[in-house]
Amino acid sequence: MIEEEQVTLLLNDILELYGYDFTHYSRASLKRRINRLWAADRFPSFAELRYRVRSDAGYLKRFVEELTVNVTEMFRDPSFYKCLRTEVLPTLAAKPFIRIWHAGCSTGEEVFSMAILLQEAGLLHKSLLYATDLNPDVLESARKGIFALAPMPQYSENYQLSGGNRDFSLYYTANYGYVKFNDELAAKMVFSTHNLVSDHSFNEFDLILCRNVLIYFDKELQERVLRLFDESLGPLSYLALGSRETLKLSAIRLNYRQITPEKIWRKIG
């Protein structure tokens, strides 16, 4: 088991050598991730783990990537997507142009789900989906629009529960255990690295989704990131968080009204 001070040492090493600042991530989760790597890579001691991180650039890259959690799925929390369909998108339909930001999009399942909603609402042609993540490898994978075939039955079920009534498999072509989603869905996506810890606002959006990313941050960093979102949201735009994340501890909550029970807030102030 790694000690608290050892975690701090490693995080400082990563900041110094790699430029990523994890010092305001939730400690309990980070500690688990580090312990897991320590065990999986069979380091006999902390000193050896640290030496490898400091001296082997390839290992450092892998280590950093393994610290963050990339788990995601399509139409995760169907009732959330149903609310986007029925309450959010209709209010954006009159806009000449719709800008959406997926902050912490991981391998893109959330972005493709959104593109499907937009297409079904007849809005995709005038939308732009900015999909960003800290990790360039997950973005590379998202950009390809290729996903494993195995979870498709579950995604299809999620899709239907979200109010979708088409045959989900029409959205992709299956091949050797993988599926490729139709190019027209990806046509309006822009993928780019963006670090929520250190990068700034880069546009104004009608909807920002940042789901299951803030749970990995401590309260101070959460507040900084929520301010960044607040700066990037125009009047009457929306902010969507993960199903157990809230604005209730944040100063920005006063400018927003929640579309209960979903974790979607509309900017009113």
Partner 1 sequence: MAENRLMQSTANTPYKAVVIGGSTGSLDVLLPVLSVLKPPLTFSLVVVVHRKNTPNSPLATLLSVKTTLPVREVDDKDVMKPGCVYLAPADYHLLVEHDGTFSLDDSEKINFSRPAIDVTFESAADVYGAGVVGILLSGANADGTRGLKAIKQAGGITVAQQPATAQVAYMPQQAIDNAAVDRVLDVPELIQFINQLNEANQAL
d(CA 58, CA 269) in angstroms, rounded, equals 47
Interface residues toward ligand SAM, by CB under 6 A:
68-72, 76, 104-106, 110, 133-135, 138, 195-197, 211-213, 216, 242
Quick one: 133 or 206, whose CB is closer to ligand SAM?
133
Interaction pattern, residues 69-98, with partner 1; x per rule: CB under 8 A: x-x-----x-x-------------------
Please state the φ and ψ torsions of residue 264, each to the nearest 5 degrees. -125, 130
Could you tell me which residues come within 8 angstroms of residue 11 by beta carbon, excluding any fewer than 6 positions away? 21, 22, 23, 30
- Smallest gap from Cβ 64 to ligand SAM, in A, equals 10
CA-CA distances (angstroms) from residue 41 to 37, 48, 218, 245?
6, 11, 27, 33
6 lies in the site for partner 1, by CB under 8 A: no
- Return the H-helix or E-strand segment holding 267: strand 264-267
> Whose CA is closest to 130, among 117, 115, 145, 119?
115
- Per CB under 8 A, the segment of 15-23, 31-39, 107-115, 191-199 that binds partner 1 is 31-39
Nearer to ligand SAM, 124 or 213 (CB): 213
Q: Does 41 bind partner 1 (CB under 8 A)?
A: no
Residue number, 27 or 50, with CB nearest to partner 1: 27
Length of the chain: 269
Interaction between residue 219 and partner 1 (CB under 8 A): yes
| Member of 23, 160, 246, 255 binding partner 1 (CB under 8 A) | 246
